[in-house]
Structure 1
Amino acid sequence: MKRFNTKNNPTRQHKAIKKTINQTSHLVKRGQFGLRSLEYKQVDIKQINSIKMKILKEIKVLEKNTSLGKIKIWFYMRPKQAVTKLSPETRMGKGKGPIVSHCCYIRPGQLIFELSNLSKLKASELISSVQDSFSFKTQLLFKFY
């Protein structure tokens, strides 16, 4: 009997989840300060939008109070996966079901957002006020020069 090649098998359904830190997107590249996750989490599009609105509201308040100018922000949480759902009474064999919403899978070490044009004190204040709205552990990052 012929065995499947597991490395490049087209019928393979799922990828194995890596338990290590994502090495491609865990450093601050564009801004001076960043926030990264420390846990695996599935974040819904409603949670993403509420987090964005809270961050933008805090930034607007900071821009009024400081004379540093325009604060730049880069978001890295984008909803990529569709979430489907069938009613619990349906029998098997009826298909996948309609798309209910979209979500984003967060890995440990992945950047959530970056900030620039802020002082270190103001950035830590902003990020500490926003950290409460996340449902997973996060860490503040600084860019090293």
Structure 2
Amino acid sequence: MKRFNLKNNPTRQYKQIKKNVNQTNHILKRGYVGLRSLEQVQVDVSQINSLKQFLQKELKIIEKKTDQGKIKLWFYMLPNRAVTKLSPETRMGKGKGPIVSYCCYIEQGQLLFEIANLPEVKTLEVVSKVRNFISFKAQLLSRFS
């Protein structure tokens, strides 16, 4: 019986899953405070947009009350995958279906956003509000010493 190479098999038609983890998407790079997911989740465009608007609104209110300067926000949840759907009564063999919306797959340990120039006292308030807003578990990361 002939054994074939599993890694370089030309008859394999499906896409291989990456076994190595991206080492840079879980480290604070720009800001002093960030939120990291603890679960693997699919987030819809509407959820992403509402979270972004909520964050910007909260940070704008804090910025007006404090005199530390402009608060910067880096948002890493970008909708990059298309969600397709066929009607429920469609028979098999009719193709993939039209694009209904877009979504973002968040890996475990991936950063959701980073914030700079935010007072330490206000960070816990903002993070607790955001944790209540999202539907999955998340962890606070900070660079304060």
Q: Give TM-score, length-normalised by structure 1.
A: 0.89
User: Does the C-alpha gap of structure 1 residues 6 and 79 become closer, same or farther in structure 2, counting only changes over 3 Å?
Assistant: farther
SS in 1 for 2:105: strand
Superposed CA RMSD: 2.2
User: Does the C-alpha gap of structure 1 residues 39 and 85 become closer, same or farther in structure 2, counting only changes over 3 Å?
Assistant: same
**What corresponds to 1:62 in structure 2?**
62
CA contact (8 A) 1:21 1:108 kept: no
SS in 1 for 2:68: coil
CA contact (8 A) 1:40 1:108 kept: yes
* Identity rate, percent: 61
**What corresponds to 1:119 in structure 2?**
119
How many residues are paired up?
Answer: 144
Distance in structure 2 (CA, Å) of the matches to 1:84 and 1:101: 7
How far 1:15 moved relative to its partner? Answer: 3.6
How far 1:21 moved relative to its partner? Answer: 6.7
Write out aligned runs for 1:101-116 (5 A). 101-116=101-116
CA contact (8 A) 1:6 1:12 kept: no
2:13 is the alignment partner of 1:12: yes
**What corresponds to 2:37 in structure 1?**
37
How far 1:121 moved relative to its partner? Answer: 1.4
SS in 2 for 1:114: strand
Give structure 1 regions of 4+ aligned residues with deviation exceeding 4 angstroms.
1-5, 8-11
CA contact (8 A) 1:43 1:103 kept: yes
Unaligned runs of at least 5 residues, structure 2 = none
How far 1:23 moved relative to its partner? Answer: 2.6
- For 1:81, the aligned partner's letter is R
Give a deviation string over 1:10-69, Cα, whole Å, max 9, x none: 643244375x97532111110000000000100000100010010011011101111111
Distance in structure 1 (CA, Å) of the matches to 2:44 and 2:78: 10
